[in-house]
Structure 1
Amino acid sequence: MNAYNPNQNVMDALDLNIVLLDFDGTIVFYNKQWEIFARENGNPTLNNSDIGSNYLEAVKKGIIDGDEIARDAYNGIMDVIWGKRARFDLEYPCHSPNEKRWFIMHARKCIDQDLVVIYHEDITDRKIAEEKLKSSEEKYRKLAESAHAVLWEYDILEDRWTYVSPQVTEMLGYSPEEWTDIKFWEDHIHPEDQKWAVQYCNESTQRGESHTFEYRFLKKDGNIAWIRDVVSVDMKDNIPFKLRGFMIDITERKRLEDLKKKELLLKEVHHRVKNNLQVISSLLNLQSRNFNDEKVKAAFMDSQNRVKSMSLAHEKLYQSSDLSTIEMSDYVKNLAGYLYQVYKINKDINLIVEADTEYFNVDTAVPFGLILNELITNSLKHAFVNRKGGQLLIKFINNNGKYVLEVIDDGTGFNQDIESHRSLGLKIVHMLADQLNATVSIDTSKGTRTVINF
């Protein structure tokens, strides 16, 4: 039975647990929800909760038991009673064995009356939603901070970065705290990209358009990183107010793209050199047809074959995977096979090629190829004169880090003292051997055996 009886029907219609205390803390009124709440929570007799009970004394018992929430509640209610504050609010948990619950206790002094109204607002649904949101945000944060990207959020109206994920320190060297305003971002864009990148971002933002762009960014250590920035725009009343996005480091991708462009360019250069050398070879062939002298024609053919050896080197280069080296065993076999077809002239010559797999750059491959061309040409042209055939052995090996090229035929041999002064081919061999810091030895005791060591 309520001692103080405001409009009972109105109070009972409210979903709040309402109780009125006098300034001594005695309960003088409560509504239906207050009674229902007490009964549902193990207090069917309304012990310490009925009319005449002292609410503050019940709270004091909680303080004695060490309940900090009870202490805060008591102090807050007393502040309202003593006029130190007009209102007091306290959020507190009130969990049962079967469920979690949260409430807010509100205390207000009644106008022109020595009474305090206290009502308890059930905020369980809100707290559960907040916990779920917090859990979701925590999962998102962990996901964001484990990603190989920098997630960020920027408040346009306040001109501040509200979030920059920790990966920014590893990627760019700056701590998240150093990202203060938009000027920090603008000032660290590479000077060559700054104007267009800032303008593009601003124009896209004003239109409310999500946008993606790639630019160079100055890292804290002075190096440059290529960034792919993916940006979404939040709008309110057709006005952009927030930007969200993520930055990915694409430096390695850009490096590979640049390398690919250089490879394509280098491949095209070698291809054109090879084509130009083929044009020269064709011109030499056409020019040789104007002469009837066989010695002159032979000289033209020798020159064509020298051009062919260089052309073959560039052909192998633009066909290779790294464009910087030539696999020499394949080169030796191809050049030997080509010259064999040119000079064989219906003779039964057994060509044997033994070559290790080695890689030369173009500066080594071209003089090496010219030397090989001269030695094979010399054997095929002169070793088997007045003979129906013979054997030509070409060996190229790596002997403990030293390269050895041997061209051996079982032909007629020649006088080195005479031939070294007359033969352009041998002069070329010695000249190119000097380029390779190679030694040349020739043995004509049994056919001709030429050894190049380098």
Structure 2
Amino acid sequence: MSNLDVATGSEREAMAPTSHTTEVGGALALAVIAVSRAPLLLMDEQFTVVAASETFLQAFALNSDAVRGRSIFALGDGEWNLPRLHSLLEAVGSGDAEVADYQLEMSVKGAAPRSLRLNAERLAFSDAMPVRLLLTIVDVTALNATQRKMDDLVRQKEVLLQEVQHRVANSLQIIASVLLQSARKVASVESRAHLTEAHNRVLSVAEVQRQLSLTQVGDVALKPYLTQLCNSIAASMVADHEQLRIEVDGDGSTVDSEVSVSVGLIVTELVINALKHAFPKGRKGVVSVDYRSRSEGWELAVSDDGVGMPKTRGVAESGLGTAIVTALASQLAASITVEDLAPGTKVSVKHLEAGTEPEPLPAV
């Protein structure tokens, strides 16, 4: 019996040539490329096309005979001969890079430019099999064009929204002026009070709308927004700025425009209320506005160092302003607390995120 006859199965496998395994692996790779639904190119280390998927051929109007065995840079009418593509494939072929979602603009003779998204990978399975480069090419020209149209529409919408906010603010200020003129003309004290109250309500909404019309659509930085809002209120309601001041403090919190409207209206109501009632008979003082955001939620506080709340008057009986603030706070899922600062009053509007425990309230 010869040595070959007594060799074990594993020895016979080790002694068998590797060409068969290589051929099977290569054939399998070509079969996968052929049936792939993705636009694929399989190349050797010299960037010669070994195989191309049918999807690639259809996407770029090429036939298999004009692609296989040719350099990728020679495909078509030379539109693939791009310096950036050279650099990309050389980096991938050397093993120094693996490219994902690489954006490439391709100029096509007699047609509009095409936007391509490339993914490139170096394939090296074993020493017995040659190195291959796998390139996926997706034409995203139509997708990018659609995205640009959407971006343009969003920008147009933002411009229109700001214009609408500006016009609404102007209209509200006109209405407020008419109400104030009417209040000055009527003889009835009760009617004058109602008209003045309506003027203040419309004015508060107008100030919020005016500030929003000056703010970019999207998230609103609250501290500068509230600062401008309070400056506008002070300009219309405070005759002597040495006597009464409105100070705004806070962190760098931002909120969406819908929340900023509610917060702005709450601040306007509370500040106007403090200016009207906390400083009678020429009393000097300061109204302070502060907004802070933390992981457990946010808190808005409006305080003054005025005469404080009447001892005989409950919070629920404080009038239309309180009803408006209460409704707005409810929309924000926030609670309201009133604290006697002696002197002065502090109104806090606090929102807690779901699952957090409220802090104990201080004694009033």
TM-score range, shorter chain: 0.5 to 0.7
Q: Residues 110-147 of structure 1, C-alpha deviation per residue, up to 9 Å, x if partnerless?
A: xxxxxxxxxxxxxxxxxxxxxxxxxx978945436956
After TM superposition, list the pairs within 5 Å mapping 1:342-361 onto structure 2.
Answer: 342-346=236-240, 348-361=243-256
Deviation at 1:441, TM superposition (A): 0.8
Cα offsets for 1:376-427 (capped at 9, x unmatched) = 1221111121353123222122233522111221221123662432522222
- Alignment gaps of 5+ in structure 2: 1-72, 86-103, 119-137, 352-364
- Bigger relative contact order, structure 1 or 2, given CA contacts below 8 A and separation 6+? 2
Aligned residue type for 1:330: P
Partner of 1:448: 345
The whole-number CA distance in structure 1 between the counterparts of 2:209 and 2:140 is 35
1:27-426 matches, cutoff 5 A: 140-143=78-81, 146=85, 148-149=105-106, 151=108, 226=142, 250-293=145-188, 296-321=191-216, 323-346=217-240, 348-400=243-295, 402-415=297-310, 418-419=313-314, 420-426=316-322
User: Closer, same or farther in 2 for the Cα pair 1:137/1:344, shift >3 Å?
Assistant: closer
Instruction: Write the letter of the residue equivalent to 1:424.
Output: L
- 3-state SS in 2 of match to 1:411: coil
What is the aligned partner in structure 2 of residue 439 from structure 1? 335
Q: Report the secondary structure of 1:371's partner residue.
A: helix
SS in 2 for 1:407: strand
1:332 counterpart SS class? helix
CA–CA distance in structure 1, aligned partners of residues 257 and 115 of structure 2 = 44
Amino acid at match of 1:325: D
- CA distance in structure 2 between the aligned counterparts of 1:334 and 1:299, rounded to whole angstroms: 28
Q: Distance in 2 between matches of 1:295 and 1:329?
A: 38
Distance 2:140 2:182 in 1: 56
RMSD between aligned alpha carbons?
3.9
User: Which amino acid in the other structure matches residue 269 of structure 1?
Assistant: V
Residue equivalent to 1:199: none
Q: Would the alpha carbon gap of residues 144 and 151 (structure 1) be closer, same or farther in structure 2, given more than 3 Å must change?
A: farther
The answer to whether the 8 A contact 1:144-1:151 is kept is no
Tell me which amino acid in the other structure corresponds to 1:149. M
Is residue 173–residue 203 contact of structure 2 (8 Å, CA) maintained in 1? yes
> For 1:151 and 1:398, how far apart are their aligned partners in 2?
53
What is the CA distance between 1:296 and its match in structure 2? 4.4
Name the structure where strand makes up a greater proportion of residues: 1
CA contact (8 A) 2:117 2:140 kept: no
* Structure 2 residue aligned with 1:22: none
Q: Deviations over 1:175-226 (max 9, x none)?
A: xxxxxxxxxxxxxxxxxxxxxxxxxxxxxxxxxxxxxxxxxxxxxx9x9954
Contact 2:207/2:233 (8 A) holds in 1: no
Query: Structure 1 residues 320, 280: closer, same or farther in 2, change over 3 A?
Result: same
Work out the CA distance in 2 between the residues paired with 1:440 and 1:260: 37
Identity level (%): 25
Whichever residue aligns with residue 105 of structure 2, its letter is: H
Larger gyration radius, structure 1 or structure 2 = 1
Q: Distance in 1 between matches of 2:74 and 2:108?
A: 14
- Checking the alignment, whether the CA contact within 8 Å between 1:443 and 1:450 is kept in structure 2 is yes
1:278, 1:307 within 8 Å by CA — same for their partners in 2? yes
Match 2:325 to one of 404, 429, 439: 429
Per-residue CA deviation, residues 317-345 of structure 1 (Å, 9 max, x unaligned), is: 34333x13333212222232233334335
SS at match of 1:413: coil
Aligned residue for 2:151, secondary structure, equals helix
Cα contact 1:438–1:452 (8 A) shared by 2: yes
